[in-house]
Amino acid sequence: MSDGTSRRELIGATIAGAGLALAGGALLGTRAARAEEEGGAAKKLKLLILGGTGFLGPHTVRAALERGHEMTLFNRGRTNTHLFPDLEKLQGDRDGKLDALKGRKWDAVIDTSGYVPRIVKMSAELLKDSVQQYVFISTISVYPGFGRDDYPIDEDSEIGTMEDPTNESVRQFYGPLKALCEAEAEKVFPGRTTNIRPGLIVGPGDPTDRFSYWPYRVMRGGTILAPGDGTTEVQVIDARDLAAWTIHTIEQQVTGVYNATGFKGRVRFEEFLHGCKCAINHDCSFDWASEAFLKEHKVRPFMELPLWIPKEALPYVRVDKAIKAGLTFRPIAITSADTAEWIRTERDKAWRLQRRIEDETKTKPWRVGIRPEREKTLLRQRLDYDLKFK
């Protein structure tokens, strides 16, 4: 989604290199760790994924295959049916049509598609004697303070509740429903559940545009409207890093609850954007508009300027526990560059393929991000605003 002056450009150029390393923790360390694992896992596992064809799903399947594991996909057979033609695919529906899973055994199940506790309970109960470990992909939206309060969040922070736990409106109660899903998985698999709470999952293949807008905007070049003073922080996780760590938790039998959003180290918005610039297109500059200006001109946080959350509602999610359990991050500049390449070569193609559109001139509309005409208008108005308050 979501959501300067020449002096700031100079500062940005100086900090960009630091930002690249900071976002990834330690690039050399990450590469060394991955190099050690190139031979694959010590033991080949049989894994089941509930879903596997959306954004995170394919990355998770690929991560498992790269480690030498055997994958089975269970889904309705409606999305990206062209993917993984050589893998076993079981067809059904999580809402009561689970017969294809009966009488089978796997080492672990990865649930990337559970949103309603009743549905998760059905899958978990059917599989409780068939798999050793249940890995549930949850969300930091289980924390009711996220996006509203300025305080650090860790795995012991309060989670959201519902007056009526039978209400299945995911749009209205996304976070509390995910929390109830976690509880159902743990109830059926006590001590054998891994509940992973990512934040914004980004990278190549992201259909939401909440991160992709910025690499795309940097690709276009010119003067870019940027939010605030650049000091607010960005927390995202590359889908490939989340997928790799998900498989790691199974290989190492890591259980419990873990926040899994970036980074090892804290990344400011200006570091993120200058990292994009260095990785994608030097022919751009950033014009930083104050939060007061953006508020006055009704610029919507996270929707028109993705990743941007005003300072008064900007919590920090701690990920120390997951890092200790092996979670690593690639530099955010690499994620940005790879996302830009995906936008350039694959984004529209994937969209047309999924919707069976044969017209190659059709382009996928952007779901979030400020429109070019409005951006130009705001850039002009910002100059007038600065003069007015000097």
Report yes or no on 359 lying in a domain. Answer: yes
pLDDT, one tens digit per residue, over 210-245 is 999 999 999 999 999 999 999 999 999 999 999 999
Domain count, the chain: 1
Burial 22-60 (b: 16+ CB within 10 A, else e): bbbbbbeebeeeeeeeeeebeeebebbbbbbbbbbbbbb
In this structure, are residues 330 and 240 in contact, taking their beta carbons and an 8 Å threshold? yes
| pLDDT given at position 10 | 33
Half-sphere exposure of 335 (CA within 13 A, CB side): 32
Q: Which residue from 327, 355, 285, 308 is spatially nearest to 63, judged by alpha carbons?
A: 327
Predicted confidence band at 148 (pLDDT cuts at 50, 70, 90)? low
pLDDT, average across residues 262-287 = 96
Q: Quick one: how many helices (H) and strands (E) in the chain? A: 13, 15
With bands split at pLDDT 50, 70 and 90, how would you rate the model's confidence at 387? Answer: low
Residue 203, domain extent: 6-389
pLDDT for the residue numbered 40: 79
Q: Assess contact for 155 and 143: CB atoms under 8 A.
A: no
Q: What's the Cα-to-Cα distance from 9 to each of 35, 102, 217, 372, rounded to whole Å?
A: 36, 60, 17, 22
The helix (H) or strand (E) run that includes residue 99 is none
Give domain status of residue 1, yes or no: no
In a domain, 179, yes or no: yes
Which pLDDT value is given to residue 310?
A: 87
Identify the three-state secondary structure at position 240: helix
Residue 136 is assigned to a structural domain of this protein: yes
Range with lowest mean pLDDT among 147-156, 318-327, 336-345, 357-366: 147-156
Please determine, for residue 8, whether its predicted confidence score (pLDDT) is greater than 50: no
CB 153 within 8 A of CB 197: no
Q: Which of 216, 236, 248 is nearest to 342 (CA)?
A: 216
Tokens of 298: 């009704």
Residue 62 has pLDDT above 80, yes or no: yes
**Contact by Cβ (8 Å): 193, 253:** no
pLDDT digits (tens, 9 = 90+) for 302-348: 999 999 988 877 789 999 999 999 999 999 999 999 999 999 999 99
Buried b (16+ CB within 10 A) or exposed e, 104-122: eebbbbbbbbbebbbbbbb
CATH number at residue 293: 3.40.50.720
- State percent of the chain over pLDDT 70: 88
- For residues 286 and 9, what is the distance between their CA atoms, to the nearest angstrom? 7
Whether the Cβ atoms of residue 43 and residue 67 lie closer than 8 Å to each other: no
In the predicted structure, residue 33 carries a pLDDT above the cut 60? no
Give domain status of residue 37, yes or no.
yes
Three-point CA angle 384, 370, 307, nearest 5°:
105
Asked if 16 and 10 count as a contact pair (C-beta separation under 8 A), the reply is: no
Buried b (16+ CB within 10 A) or exposed e, 348-386: bebebebeeeeeeeeebeeebbbeeeebeebeeebeebe
Residue 22 has pLDDT above 90, yes or no: no
Q: What is the average pLDDT value for the chain, to the nearest integer?
A: 89
Q: What is the pTM of this model?
A: 0.88
pLDDT (0 to 100) of residue 314: 74
Residue with tokens 């890092």: 323
Q: What is the mean pLDDT of residues 12-35?
A: 37
